Structure 1
């Protein structure tokens, strides 16, 4: 008898020997088990960053879908080239913008509240940040004498100029620099506040009082959307 102890086979070789020849089982065990490479550095993010990685991937896909669905906005040069800011000749009629003026009057009365009757610094601060599209405007002082007295409805409030439509259906461009504009807001006085009779109140409603304020165009050389966060101070203009 052989006195040498018999070397035990690995259990994987014994299982493979049931399905393959001994040589084939040994080869499979050597290549697939013993010589199999072991990757110590993982190729995927660690578990702590896996959630953040999935979130970033979802955001990238969502942004890609938005870019595919939402068209790129037009630039300012493209808008000017297409004439989006121009009023066509058939639309240059004062009567077409009168409803816009009535809407602006209601808008101004709403933002002023009770200060529409009293005025003061509070009313001035609210008017400085208001939108003047649809306002009735008149030039009272200007470095260019020919512009004084021009009246109309503001149809475009740009950074450096007011574009208005006059009663004679003419489109005028009024630069803000060196010009003082006057705005008038009719303010019907309530009968209860004045203590008037119904007949007197009716007469006063036919001829309502008006809140008149003047604006230095040099202080309004900003877009209407940018004036809401600015503070205006009174100063002397040497050009007037």
Structure 2
């Protein structure tokens, strides 16, 4: 729509106050009268925009779920036998290297307390991983278990599953059982005695991953 005469005269009067007569006509013609006016496209209604964002968010969540695999259920893990030892691998010689790795690991965890058994040794041992440790039943409510010794191949919440030197897999309950563990001295310190400690199975009835943040209390166990 062309400008009205009143608007045009008002605009020219304002321009004359700041510019010369020759510049007034040029500025008005180039920058006001013939200047293109670009219109912004109308935005969608608020409800439509909100629905579009909601749909985009749902699509993003679907793509993220499709890329991330669904964890296996307990029934599927049992069906696939993920935590079952194969029969051809149930020999002591197969897990002997694992015990050597665990000995190096526990020496690194204990540090200098491997020789003096300081106050921090108990806290470090309670949070350590015992997969690969060679344990021996020192005391138990079941006398037939005393003296059983082997390498821990599975550390569950309530049991230690070990393999003995006779290539037998035995499941030892932690409840009512005390385990003894020997850590040989390193070759660089042959004069030191092996570090020996005992584990109260009643206090170790936790998964290996949960024991790291678990504080064990000292108390007398009447069952032993």
What is the deviation of 1:120? 2.4
1:235 to 215, 219, 222: 219
SS in 1 for 2:103: helix
2:123 to 125, 128, 152: 125
SS in 1 for 2:194: strand
Query: Superposition pairs for residues 1-240 of structure 1, below 5 Å?
Result: 42-44=46-48, 60-188=58-186, 190=188, 204=190, 209-240=193-224
- Matches of 2:98 and 2:136, distance apart in 1: 17
What is the deviation of 1:57? 6.3
Deviations 1:69-123 (A, max 9, x none): 2321111222112211111111100000011001101111111111111112201
Deviating more after overlay: 76-85 vs 153-162: 76-85
Could you tell me which runs of 5 or more consecutive residues in structure 2 were left unpaired when the two chains were aligned: 3-44
Deviations 1:154-208 (A, max 9, x none): 00000000000000000000000000000111123746xxxxxxxxxxxx37xx6
Q: How many residues align?
A: 184
- Matches of 2:46 and 2:89, distance apart in 1: 69
Contact 1:189 1:209 in 2 (8 A): no
- Matches of 2:208 and 2:132, distance apart in 1: 13
In the TM superposition, structure 1's runs of 4+ consecutive aligned residues that sit over 2 Å from their partners are 41-46, 56-63, 188-191
- Matches of 2:207 and 2:176, distance apart in 1: 17
- Matches of 2:79 and 2:87, distance apart in 1: 17
| Equivalent position of 2:24 in the other structure | none
* RMSD of aligned Cα (Å): 2.7
Could you tell me which runs of 5 or more consecutive residues in structure 1 were left unpaired when the two chains were aligned: 1-9, 12-40, 47-52, 192-203
Contact 1:135 1:183 in 2 (8 A): yes
Cα gap change, 1:223 to 1:163, in 2 (>3 Å) = same
| Equivalent position of 1:26 in the other structure | none
- Matches of 2:148 and 2:113, distance apart in 1: 28
